[in-house]
Amino acid sequence: MRMKQLLTTFVVGASAALAFGTAAAADMTGAGATFPYPIYAKWAEQYKAATGNGLNYQSVGSGAGVKQIKAKTVDFGATDSPLKGEELDAEGLTQFPAIMGGVVTVVNVDGLTPGQLKLTGPVIADIYLGKITQWNDAAITALNPGVKLPAAEITVVHRADGSGTSFLFTDYLSKTSPEFKTKIGAGTAVKWVTGVGGKGNEGVAANVQRIKGAIGYVEWAFAKKNKLQHTQLKNKDGNFVQPDDDNFKAAAANAEWTKTPGFGVVLTDQAGKASWPITGVSFILMHKTQADAAKGKEVVKFFDWAFKNGGAAAAELDYVPLPPSVVKLVQDSWKANLKDASGKAVY
């Protein structure tokens, strides 16, 4: 199935499970974040063609992915909200980054073109706090001189499930709005004060497409492939920027991977004149002791293959591949942390 068809099917609410080929005994199983779904789908398609081995990945949200890997019902979990070192240790898990990308705000406002509207963290926070309720509010029009904005009600759309995309979005708003931090805060699942929920990036995108006057937040590939009206954002250096892979790379330029347990860096609101302010990393979770060593080896082989061969597909879908230096750190972590039941290294 072609990627555009996959994304379109996904957005209109079809099955959240991704499977390539029949589910043979050697096929890997994974579950979690919807943020990296488009690139995992593409990689799985290419890996199946190259090796004959399949991936069954359920795009069910970061929270569900963490639960499933802890319960040992999948070979790997995927989360955009990194687990802290103490939780990884308590659960016997190892964590490594797989891909980087961006979260964008998207709107459904008549007369606007994608990338035209300018917003800031504090203004978005006030919208999600229910303080700004009309598109022609003075706080929005002041950022957009010459843009005709309607006297239309704003409908807030947010995630209804535990979500790493929500973590990145709320972490950014918490860093730019003290009131948002106090009243809602950052997390994979928060208590929203207004709006309607959607399950997965696809559910939020579908609601924004359906509701006139809506605003939501999704992973950039979903916005771009489905031609949603994304917005510019003002970054920490005071520049309005568009989402693209160069600006995602700029946000990741100073990431200190080795100083955080489990590579758990958070790239929101990073300094830099070109930095996209809601840049994120998607992580993979695996048990350090692999009860099924063959499956564990296959998962590692899949991501090793993706790191070496998947860069073009990642760029095509507006993700940012890990820098070679970080790939080397990940490979070293596999050697050190992933063992079979007898203590032999999986990688």
Query: DSSP string spanning 128-193?
Result: HTTS--BTT-HHHHTTSTT----S-B-EEEEESS--HHHHHHHHHHHHH-HHHHHHT-SSSS---S
Residues 145 and 231 occupy one common structural domain:
yes
306 lies in which domain range?
3-101+261-265+276-340
Cβ pair 272, 253 in contact under 8 A: yes
Domain stops at, among 208, 224, 254: 254
Q: How many CA atoms lie within 13 A of 60 on its CB side?
A: 17
pLDDT at position 18, please?
54
Domain count, the chain: 2
pLDDT at position 226, please?
86
Residues 11 and 96 occupy one common structural domain:
yes
Residues 110 and 248 occupy one common structural domain:
yes
Q: Which amino acid is at 274?
A: A
Residues 196 and 226 occupy one common structural domain:
yes
pLDDT at position 205, please?
94
Residues 108 and 207 occupy one common structural domain:
yes
Domain stops at, among 193, 221, 254: 254
Residues 127 and 59 occupy one common structural domain:
no
Domain annotation covers residue 345 = no
Q: How many CA atoms lie within 13 A of 145 on its CB side?
A: 0
Query: Could you tell me the pTM of the whole model?
Result: 0.86
| The pair of three-digit structure tokens given for residue 151, joined into one six-digit string | 């006297």
d(CA 113, CA 26): 46
d(CA 133, CA 156): 9
Query: DSSP string spanning 248-295?
Result: HHHHHTT--GGGSGGG----BT--STT--TBEEEEEEEEESEESSHHH
- Percentage of the chain surpassing pLDDT 90? 86
DSSP conformation class of 318: T
Residues 6+ positions from 315 with CB-CB distance below 8 Å: 245, 321
Domain annotation covers residue 196 = yes
Cβ pair 186, 171 in contact under 8 A: yes
Domain annotation covers residue 226 = yes
Task: State pLDDT tens for residues 151-190.
Answer: 999 999 999 998 999 999 999 999 999 999 999 999 999 9
Low-confidence ranges of the chain (pLDDT < 70): 1-26
Domain annotation covers residue 282 = yes
Cβ pair 288, 339 in contact under 8 A: yes
Residues 110 and 70 occupy one common structural domain:
no
Task: State pLDDT tens for residues 212-269.
Answer: 999 999 999 889 888 999 999 999 999 999 999 999 999 998 888 988 999 999 999 9
Q: How many CA atoms lie within 13 A of 248 on its CB side?
A: 24
Domain annotation covers residue 346 = no
Integer CA distances (angstroms), 44 to 163, 255, 284, 333, in order: 22, 28, 15, 23
d(CA 287, CA 338): 7
